Structure 1
Amino acid sequence: MKVLVATEKPFAAEAVKGIKEEIESAGNECVLLEKYADVSQLLDAVKDADAMIVRSDKVTPAVIDAAGKLKIVVRAGAGYDSIDTAYAKQKNIVVENTPGQNSNAVAELVFGLLVYAVRNFYNGKSGTELLGKKLGILAFGNVGRNVARIAKGFGMDIYAYDAYCPKSAIEDAGVKAVDSQEALFELCDIVSLHIPATAETKGSINHDLVGKMRKGGIVVNTARKEVIDEAGLLKLMEERPDLKYITDIKPDADADFAKFEGRYFSTPKKMGAQTAEANTNAGIAAARQINAFFATGDTRFQVNK
């Protein structure tokens, strides 16, 4: 089987080596398309591919239509909103992600951003500490659990809400479970977002919800840009000069947020999974999942069932 690794932004060299070795160990062929400048190159490369590994590359209906032999696409990472999963399902193409492989990298970034924020972006003025602060984790999946693990080392008071995770599972991890996301925002000094971008969550982090935070509140978004109601958050930050917003996803209204000097920070691009370890782990996991699919029909990580 031919496996196309199509990455506009390539994997690290070590990751590519591991992916290639894993694919070829099962007798499959690995073909690379790296740093492609135009979608036409992807459309051409995918024509005879049986499987495809992507990072943040867009897998649109046009790409799917060009891929006459394609049976499976694996997104090396947790989020898969760059793939038209519904259209892939229509075409009987399995779409998978690699959950958990980037979790520690994202969780560590949360605390890199937080220390930067509570120390006033290192502007020389006195800041605050994380010790004893109430941290709210919105969604207690792989990333949320890693955030909780690290927060314990900082001596934080940790709370979480997840509509799909039993309270008992949260409490078994040594974290206090709350009954709603509203309660989480009301209670906590800091809320870290780890929700996916779905019809239910898009725009849900809005003026009224964030406005429930206590004085000096901080929202950390290493999830998805789409979960933020940017207009509502901008309005709130005008009204509440005590609030801070930090993220690794530059908002559409980045220029507007930038006026809140000392209260807003965004990395130039999405940084959560940008570590050598996460890069390698996610890529090799994707290769293993493709091998398992062709060997036994394994679809345990399928997201478009």
Structure 2
Amino acid sequence: MRVLIADRLPAGHCASLRAGGHDLTESPELSADDLVTAIADHEVLVVRSTRVTAAVIDAATSLRLVVRAGSGTDTIDVEAAAGRGIAVCNVPGRNAIAVAELAVGLVLAIDRRIPEQVTDLREGRWRKGEYQTATGICGRSVGVLGLGDIGLEFAARMVAFGTHVHGVADPGRDTERQRRAEEIGITFVADLPTLAATCDILSFHVPLSDRTRGIIGEPLVTQVPKGAILINTSRGDLVDPDSLLHALDDRSLWVGLDVHPDEPAGGSGVIETRLSRHPRVYGTHHVGASTEQAQTAVADGVVETLHAFARGEVRNCVNDSALAGATR
């Protein structure tokens, strides 16, 4: 198959694909606009963060498969792909540990105000008295919204700190996920307002959808206890910036964000938001999945998905239900 790799894939994994008979084009610096021309006669497109718009889909005369090197597919026009009979597949779970680790790191950084301590020392200031008032993590109540792979990994790590972890009861939850949640020690409450009201720390691990867009805003930010810690390592648009900014001051909340509304595309750029500058917001650069371990695991999944597709097997297809009525 003719495969366009529009984001970076380790050399060894590219070699594996070539050894499997695939014709690879590696173009990791492509933008969404560039893709419209570059997609040409490729049958497979592999992306990590590059956007796949309807214009790209329309220009892809030979495309049969789009593989997202990760789990979320909100950067891909899945509906347009389905309309053209193009399968969109992801590689879920491979980066779960890395994202969970960063979420835990943000909790600890906020509790101990680690960034300020580092800055003070680098600038020659010794302010031990300022930083002797941390609450601590052990014994606190932690809410986890979204008990997929990442949410479960985060919960397991927070339990290891001696916290009490809670989730929202869901009668439709997959049996295996429910079993694992109970094994970790998660207890369940009836709904999100109850979860918010009873937790000192609330971490979000849900995909972006119409239902979750702006969920970190009113009324949730008024339901959490004053001084609560909110963590978002999922998608930037889960945040309602205006509501959250008001709650940061009005309710003394602390927030850890690895993802940001309107964050720059690509590896560098300028970000100028009131949230990123707020002293009670600790931000990182959308790097939750950016560890060598996670990138290798995700690349393994991409290679497995492509080899399987060549054999006629479509793995982890997110638009399979819409493909039946598609046209080419």
Q: TM-score, normalised by structure 2?
A: 0.84
Corresponding residue for residue 290 of structure 1: 306
**Alpha carbons of 1:116 and 1:134: their partners in 2 closer, same or farther (altered >3 Å)?**
same
Corresponding residue for residue 3 of structure 2: 3
Corresponding residue for residue 121 of structure 2: none
Residues 74-129 of structure 1 deviation map (CA, whole Å, 9 limit, x = unaligned): 00001111100000000000001100011000000011111110002343412232
Shift of 1:30: 2.1
Identity of aligned residues (%): 32
Shift of 1:288: 1.1
Greater Cα shift, 199-208 or 189-198: 199-208
Contact preservation (8 Å) 1:4, 1:30: yes
| 1:266 and 2:300 aligned | no
Aligned residue for 1:238, secondary structure, equals helix
Contact preservation (8 Å) 2:78, 2:319: yes
In structure 2, distance between residues paired with 1:109 and 1:239: 27
Alignment-mate amino acid for residue 219 of structure 2: D
Residues 254-295 of structure 1 deviation map (CA, whole Å, 9 limit, x = unaligned): 63235642x21112x211111111112112211211210120
RMSD of aligned alpha carbons: 2.0
For residue 247 of structure 1, the aligned residue among 253, 257, 275 is: 257
Aligned residue for 1:219, secondary structure, equals strand
In structure 2, distance between residues paired with 1:67 and 1:175: 46
Contact preservation (8 Å) 2:237, 2:260: no
Corresponding residue for residue 182 of structure 1: 193
Counterparts of 1:1-305 in structure 2, within 5 Å, are: 1-7=1-7, 10-11=8-9, 15-18=10-13, 20-36=14-30, 39-40=33-34, 42-121=35-114, 122-123=116-117, 124=128, 125-126=131-132, 127-161=134-168, 163=170, 164-165=172-173, 168-169=178-179, 170-241=181-252, 243-252=253-262, 255-258=273-276, 260-261=278-279, 263-267=280-284, 269-295=285-311, 297-305=312-320
Greater Cα shift, 285-294 or 31-40: 31-40
In structure 2, distance between residues paired with 1:129 and 1:234: 25
Contact preservation (8 Å) 1:49, 1:67: yes
Alignment-mate amino acid for residue 199 of structure 1: D
Residues 205-257 of structure 1 deviation map (CA, whole Å, 9 limit, x = unaligned): 2232122112320000001111112111112223112x111111134596323
Q: TM-score, normalised by structure 1?
A: 0.90
What is the total number of aligned residue pairs between the two structures? 294
Q: Gaps (5+ residues) in structure 2? A: 118-127, 263-270, 321-328
Q: Gaps (5+ residues) in structure 1? A: none
Residues 23-72 of structure 1 deviation map (CA, whole Å, 9 limit, x = unaligned): 234322222112236733x3333212111111011111221122111100
Alignment-mate amino acid for residue 254 of structure 2: K
